[in-house]
Structure 1
Amino acid sequence: MSIDLSTSVKAALKVLLDTQANLTTTQRRVATGLRVGTAKDNATYWTIATKTRSDIGAVSAVQDALGLAQATVSVASTSVSATVDIVSQIKAKLVTAEESSVDKVKLNDEITQLKEQLRSVGQSANFNGDNWVVLSGSADPSEPKQIPASIIRYADGTFSVGRLSYSGAASSTGPVSTVDARYLIDDRTGGTGGYGVLTSTAFAAQVGAGQTYVMLTNQGGSTSGQVEIGLSASTTNGQIDDMLSVVNAMLGQMTIVGSAFGSLEARINMQDSFAKNMSDTLTSGVGKLVDANMEQEGTKLAALQTQQQLGIQSLSIANASFSLITQLFQNIH
């Protein structure tokens, strides 16, 4: 004769194992904060979340680039503003020079110091090795300054990067006009200074000055025909008038350059705010797909831990009952 009471033990064990499996899942969700942590949890949501996280990383990189661009453009804009102030001071000195009692030589010493400051301000407008107001070396004056500003994912899954730019001259070949002076200083090797407001002779030609006046002669290129604005004891009021006309034309172009930098700086700030909001929105979207409800999971965890304890007790009771019955019948043959 044999008696099999293991059914109750097996049932208690099965309940305990099921509880343990649910408890393990809940503990993982509580620990990671995710209800979809791997593809096996939910393949569709996991795929969407993985792609979106990649986009979030790209947006973060764009935000970093915008931060660098923001600093670079801010430095350039500050440089243009400082340059306008200095050129305005030179203009005031030239007006003063038309007074017959003024020592023009001493006044020229002051103008010389201001011109040196102009070059110093331009060359100092450098952030992370990038200068947006001074051309040097073999730089292409028509090449725009560009910065990554956004990411675009199309419906077909393709991906591209949107950019903001500060436009250079319309062309680096042919006659150079005042509108091509999109920089403060053009010191390019082999150049003539035409793409820098302070080094271009185009302003003198525009106002019909008697000489091709420039505020600064370009360094590194040809200075042929360039006449730096300055005073001597023999400088006539007519020459000063020509210099003033050139300076006024330069100031007009500098306000255009400064306005362009100001507009770009404002656009960068707007794009940075948009990128931050986009990152937050994408992160929130991913969270709705894969994040665990921590309040519910916490409650569930406590309940499963209680069930686990009860399951252990049930299994213990079933085992004890089976052992007792076995002992009662162990001497029956």
Structure 2
Amino acid sequence: MSSLLTNSSAMTALQTLRSVSSQLSTTQTRISTGQRVSTASDNAAYWSIATSMRSDNAALSAVSDSLGLSAATVDTEYTALTSVIGDKDSGLTKLQALLVEAKTAGIDRAKIQADVTQIQQDMNLKANSATFNGINWLNIDTSASTTATPATFKLVSSYSRVGGTPTIGSITVTTADYALYTTGGASNTGILDKQTSGVSVSNMAIGTLTDSAADQTTLDGYIAQVTTAINSVASAAANLGAVKNRLATNTEFVKSLMDSVDRGVGQLVDADMNQESTRLAALQVQQQLGVQALSIANNNSQSILSLFR
């Protein structure tokens, strides 16, 4: 039946065209954003998961930055410690050799003292220079003032979230384990300024010693004191080296974890561009055919006019 009031063909063609246009709009949005889930209305569950994971990745990025800062601090202290240990030409190693040399009968210990003094000043300078971002673990202030060096430092190393509970991991560093010099309340408790009978590695002097048995015994005590200091500084450097390696490992892990989270989020919300481009071409053809179908359906009503001519 042909009717002027109801054009069923045109209504069907229009409905189909609306459906195609809606699908075409969705496809164009996916192509322009690169995501098949860009808003909560696209897929509430996936959008919520992706949003949470992106938030976690931002926290991991902050952990990565903190690890970089911690690594720089540890590297500064570690470099100074190994420099204080020194070699045959510097540091505690050279100081020990000079003291052994001072055991030689008839040697001019005043001249050796000149080298000893330079080494002591150099070690103190290195400890004072081992500062990064205002932090120094080798020359610490043990007073009760607000500027005192904290007893411990927590270096942020990881971030994780189980359900709605975040967990921040850290590496605890005890500053007293690395202190070469101390000032303030518990002064002279560092490795180099700790005194035995009023003498420490940082202030020992041999310029006035002689070949007497008593002075030779004093030299033996100085050598033992420096040897103990070498072992203590080496132990501190080894401990700090382990922390340094741990920070480096955690840095690589956090970066890998961030990449993994990015890939996981991408699998949830990213659009398959090959699929979307194919769908776009098909929908464009369907849209063109829908327009033609609607045009044909509308023209059918015009043919009724011929019946009245």
- Quick check: TM above 0.5? yes
**Aligned ranges for residues 1-333 of structure 1 at < 5 Å?**
3-4=4-5, 6-85=7-86, 86-136=91-141, 138=143, 143-155=151-163, 157-169=164-176, 182-186=178-182, 188-194=183-189, 196-201=190-195, 204=196, 211-216=197-202, 228-235=203-210, 236-322=215-301, 324-325=302-303, 327-328=305-306
Q: 1:105 to 1:83 in 2, by over 3 A?
A: same
Distance in 2 (CA, whole Å) between partners of 1:13 and 1:65 is: 59
Encode CA deviations 1:117-144: one digit per residue, 9 max, x unaligned: 1112112212222222221363667722
For the Cα contact (< 8 Å) 1:134–1:184, is it kept in 2?
yes
Distance in 1 (CA, whole Å) between partners of 2:272 and 2:45 is: 19
Q: 1:123 to 1:316 in 2, by over 3 A?
A: farther
SS in structure 1 of the partner of residue 242 of structure 2: helix
Which 4+ residue blocks in structure 1 deviate beyond 6 angstroms?
Answer: 139-142
Q: 1:88 to 1:2 in 2, by over 3 A?
A: closer
Query: Residue type matched to 1:94 in 2?
Result: L
TM-score, normalisation: structure 2 = 0.87
SS in structure 2 of the partner of residue 15 of structure 1: helix
Q: Find the counterpart in structure 2 of residue 225 from structure 1.
A: none
CA RMSD in angstroms, aligned pairs only: 2.3
How far the C-alpha of 1:26 sits from its partner, in A, is: 1.0
> Where does structure 1 lack aligned partners over 5 or more consecutive residues?
170-180, 205-210, 217-227
Q: 1:26 to 1:233 in 2, by over 3 A?
A: same
Query: Residue type matched to 1:212 in 2?
Result: G
Distance in 2 (CA, whole Å) between partners of 1:327 and 1:137 is: 105
Q: Percent identity?
A: 34
SS in structure 1 of the partner of residue 284 of structure 2: helix
How far the C-alpha of 1:106 sits from its partner, in A, is: 2.1
How far the C-alpha of 1:168 sits from its partner, in A, is: 4.0
Kindly tell me the number of residue pairs found equivalent between the two proteins. Answer: 297
TM-score, normalisation: structure 1 = 0.81
How far the C-alpha of 1:230 sits from its partner, in A, is: 2.1
Q: 1:315 to 1:134 in 2, by over 3 A?
A: farther
SS in structure 1 of the partner of residue 172 of structure 2: strand
Name the stretch that deviates more: 276-285 or 54-63. 276-285
How far the C-alpha of 1:320 sits from its partner, in A, is: 4.0
